[in-house]
Amino acid sequence: MKQAVLATMVGAVILTQAPAAFSAGISSLRGDNALNAEAKAFEKARQKKVEGGFERNWDLQPPSIPHDISKDRISLQENTCLKCHSKANYEKEKAPEVGDSHFLDRNGKKLEKISSRRWFCVQCHTPQADLKPLVENTFSGK
Ligand code: HEC
Ligand code: HEC
pLDDT band at 130 (very low <50, low <70, confident <90, very high): confident
What is the number of structural domains in the chain? Answer: 2
Q: Are residues 64 and 111 in the same domain?
A: yes
Q: What is the pLDDT of residue 24?
A: 55
Q: Look up the domain containing 79 and give its range.
A: 45-130
Angle of CA points 116, 121, 124, to nearest 5°: 110
Q: Looking at the domain assignment, is residue 95 inside a domain?
A: yes
Q: What is the pLDDT of residue 63?
A: 95
**For 11-20, 33-42, 47-56, which range has the lowest pLDDT when averaged over its residues?**
11-20
Q: Looking at the domain assignment, is residue 23 inside a domain?
A: yes
Q: Looking at the domain assignment, is residue 26 inside a domain?
A: yes
Q: Are residues 53 and 114 in the same domain?
A: yes
Q: Looking at the domain assignment, is residue 140 inside a domain?
A: no
51 lines ligand 1 (CB under 6 A): yes
121 lines ligand 2 (CB under 6 A): yes
Average per-residue pLDDT for the chain: 83
Long-range Cβ pairs for the range 29-33 (8 Å, 24+): 29/134, 29/135
Q: What is the pLDDT of residue 36?
A: 87
Average pLDDT rounded to a whole number, residues 48-66: 91
65 lines ligand 2 (CB under 6 A): no
Q: How far apart are CA 84 and CA 76, in angstroms?
A: 18
Q: Are residues 78 and 122 in the same domain?
A: yes
Q: Is the pLDDT of residue 57 over 70?
A: yes
Q: Are residues 60 and 73 in the same domain?
A: yes
Average pLDDT rounded to a whole number, residues 54-79: 94
66 lines ligand 1 (CB under 6 A): yes
Average pLDDT rounded to a whole number, residues 71-86: 97
Q: What is the CATH number of the domain that holds 89?
A: 1.10.1130.10
User: 65, 75, 124: which to mutate for ligand 2, most atoms within 8 A of CB?
Assistant: 124
Q: Are residues 33 and 13 in the same domain?
A: yes
